[in-house]
Amino acid sequence: MIEHLSKGDQLAEQLIRESAEDAAMMIRVLYQRGASQCALVGGLSEFVMPWLPEDVAAIATLPQGDAMHGALLMAMKLF
C-alpha cells in the first residue's frame, strides 16, 4: 500500500486517511481518560502519523521501546 501511496494512488490515500481517522478516534478517547501521550504501533504507524489531525498529532508518538518495555514501565508505576 505504501508503494502505491507514494505513487499518488487514490485508493491507497483513502485507506491511509481512514486508518488515521480510526487511530485519531481511539487516541482522543485515551486522552480524555487521562493519557498524556499515545504511541502508535504496527507496521503502518510511521506512515499514518503524518495524516493525523493536529490535535491528535500533538499527543501521538512512535514507540520508544517494545511492548515488554512499556509493560515494565506501567508495572513500575503501580508499585
Domain range holding 9?
2-78
pLDDT in tens, 22-44: 999 999 999 999 999 999 988 88
pLDDT of residue 47: 93
Residue whose cell numbers read 509493560: 71
CA 72 to CA 4: how far, in whole Å?
38
User: Residues 2-9: what's their mean pLDDT?
Assistant: 90
Task: Place 64 in a pLDDT band, splitting at 50, 70 and 90.
Answer: confident
Number of domains in the chain: 1
Sign, CA dihedral 68-69-72-77, equals: negative
